Structure 1
């Protein structure tokens, strides 16, 4: 059989596939998942119990109810038309289909690195080339919008930014984000703002607040992270009516299953849950990061539960070092611009235990460097 060369030549580096987790993880702290360390809200639990299982015997009902809830969720910061909202089986499925709309063998896509590696892989799987502004370790990998804008050109078919960033957890301010979106608009090119971790930051910093100013803007949201629903595979996208019209040609009306639609409504209505979680995450992340002396915390935002840690010795496999102390993390060897001495770590709800384990790790670092 003959497959497309862009597929056979692809060395897929998804961190979701390369976990070397031991079979028996009793006593381990799992800090590898980019999810809410406090789970899901009580309203979500109640919604599961209220779901009518008979609905599984039919196709999902029209999505107008959920789209109305999404619209109301954004009403305090942006006017979103329900025709601008598209549902998806997780944010990654939305990414796959957006790339299908804009990328072919002649396409060049620009992002910045490190960022969500599955997006990069999918660009290549569609035959496109991925170019990036690689963040500089000399300023602790902080994103510089001016450098990004200077690198943008109409040779690029699509621009991509994840905000908050995966794996660092840093956040681009909405003013800087708008300058990037505006420049993409002036070049006549679409730009995807992937806000998978967006529920951890203020809605006023979401690119959705720019939606009615820029026709080229595509904003992707996930219910997997902040709302704690990773197992449901639910996400949505807000974009222009023109993009929505074309997107529907490569999609189907039954994106997001009946259970996910029902639960998503409950999760989005419970705004207090995320407010409470955000306060806890900020406090825990502050305590943890301030406890570190030897390992470096890459540029990150206090409200986002993920962060990137760097071991000063490039020869050290930091994921393995943490595993020795029964901490499960994500190696950053698959992220462009990083290496084996970096890991992505999610703050754990039991921060005291986490700090104790890292004290022992840092003692090792101190005596080996």
Structure 2
């Protein structure tokens, strides 16, 4: 076993419903709480008999639909089984031992984990509330998250461009971008060192299918495709993603409902705690209530305790936006505890 593996902490996904012997409300994993479009469900049912065969390893139809969805050429698109796998592939592609990787904090911990596995020199810098006002370093690779997990805020385009001028490569993780209505995908036409990572898990509600994609200069996209597993997206996931893209208006309507609920929850929570401004499908909350996440868990409500994450001082939890009845149960439980 490589020595670096012993230095890395295992990724902690937080509590999951299957860990309990009773029904719980899952608000810990930033999932889309609404069911898939009916065509997605029908497609999955109709494709079950095909799972004895490999899918085409090129995923051309999916790439063509993503191309239409984002207004980029299909040659700029690489796909794999989830955004997290693409983050790993990017580090495999670019990072040599001792390369400098810059990660603003607080943010997604997998950036550091994958970089450490490549034996990179990982440099972190804390920005309160993840409010980046400029580029404060230079090196091989920088990881930026917009909207950021866990704070929920977006990074100004000018700041991202400043990073692009100072790093060999910049990853912008846009897993939650559809909830914010902002993107820097168009910058790939101006910067060959930009890699934008997107997901079908959040906006499109396919977290259990594991489909992600990268948008980058065609040479980078081709290189990612070269080193990923040849059948990285299953037949069912491939067809589900296609059906979701063919019914994007349904998901835009759902995103509108989620944003409305997010703002309602933020207003209620703001009377009790400090709530970070969010442009995603979750909220980050700073509080002073002892063991709040555990006490909510005792009431059958799962939130993500992120206390101790680099860049967060004091107790914090992150709560995903659920459906209205789930959010009401969460708010009632918090008010009861406080």
Fold shared per TM-score above 0.5 = yes
- Structure 2 gaps of 5+ residues are none
Distance 1:129 1:263 in 2: 39
Distance 1:32 1:361 in 2: 18
Distance 2:195 2:141 in 1: 11
- The answer (yes or no) to whether the contact 2:141–2:167 under 8 Å persists in 1 is no
- The answer (yes or no) to whether the contact 1:306–1:344 under 8 Å persists in 2 is yes
Partner secondary structure for residue 103 of structure 2: strand
| 1:105 pairs with 2:97 | yes
1:57-77, Cα deviation, whole Å (9 max, x unpaired):
2443642111111111113xx
Distance 2:146 2:188 in 1: 15
Distance 2:208 2:18 in 1: 19
Partner secondary structure for residue 106 of structure 1: coil
- The answer (yes or no) to whether the contact 2:178–2:203 under 8 Å persists in 1 is yes
Match of residue 20 from structure 2: 23
Match of residue 318 from structure 2: 344
Partner secondary structure for residue 157 of structure 1: strand
Do the aligned partners of residues 341 and 325 (structure 1) sit closer, same or farther apart at CA in structure 2, a change above 3 Å counting? farther
- The CA RMSD over aligned residues, in Å, is 2.2
Match of residue 367 from structure 1: none
Determine which of 231, 249, 255 is the counterpart of 1:272.
249
Aligned residues: 335
Distance 1:122 1:333 in 2: 22
Distance 1:295 1:187 in 2: 38
Distance 1:22 1:253 in 2: 33
Alpha-carbon shift at residue 17 of structure 1 (Å): 5.8
Determine which of 139, 144, 147 is the counterpart of 2:132.
144
Do the aligned partners of residues 46 and 157 (structure 1) sit closer, same or farther apart at CA in structure 2, a change above 3 Å counting? same
Match of residue 45 from structure 2: 49
Residue correspondence of structure 1 range 285-300 to structure 2 within 5 A: 285-292=262-269, 293-300=271-278
TM-score, with structure 2 as normaliser: 0.91
Partner secondary structure for residue 22 of structure 2: coil
Determine which of 268, 281, 284 is the counterpart of 1:305.
281
| 1:244 pairs with 2:221 | yes
Match of residue 34 from structure 1: 30
Alpha-carbon shift at residue 37 of structure 1 (Å): 1.8
TM-score, with structure 1 as normaliser: 0.84
Distance 2:319 2:112 in 1: 21
Distance 2:162 2:274 in 1: 34
Q: Once superposed, which parts of structure 1, at least 4 consecutive aligned residues long, lie more than 3 Å away?
A: 17-22
Partner secondary structure for residue 28 of structure 2: coil
Alpha-carbon shift at residue 181 of structure 1 (Å): 3.6
Match of residue 153 from structure 2: 170
1:102-143, Cα deviation, whole Å (9 max, x unpaired):
22321221121111112221111221232223122xxxx151
Alpha-carbon shift at residue 332 of structure 1 (Å): 0.6
- The answer (yes or no) to whether the contact 1:6–1:127 under 8 Å persists in 2 is yes
Do the aligned partners of residues 58 and 185 (structure 1) sit closer, same or farther apart at CA in structure 2, a change above 3 Å counting? closer
Distance 2:35 2:125 in 1: 34
Alpha-carbon shift at residue 298 of structure 1 (Å): 2.1
| 1:114 pairs with 2:106 | yes
Match of residue 234 from structure 2: 257
Alpha-carbon shift at residue 335 of structure 1 (Å): 2.6
Partner secondary structure for residue 231 of structure 1: coil
1:23-76, Cα deviation, whole Å (9 max, x unpaired):
2232x322112111213222211221332623532443642111111111113x
Match of residue 183 from structure 1: 162
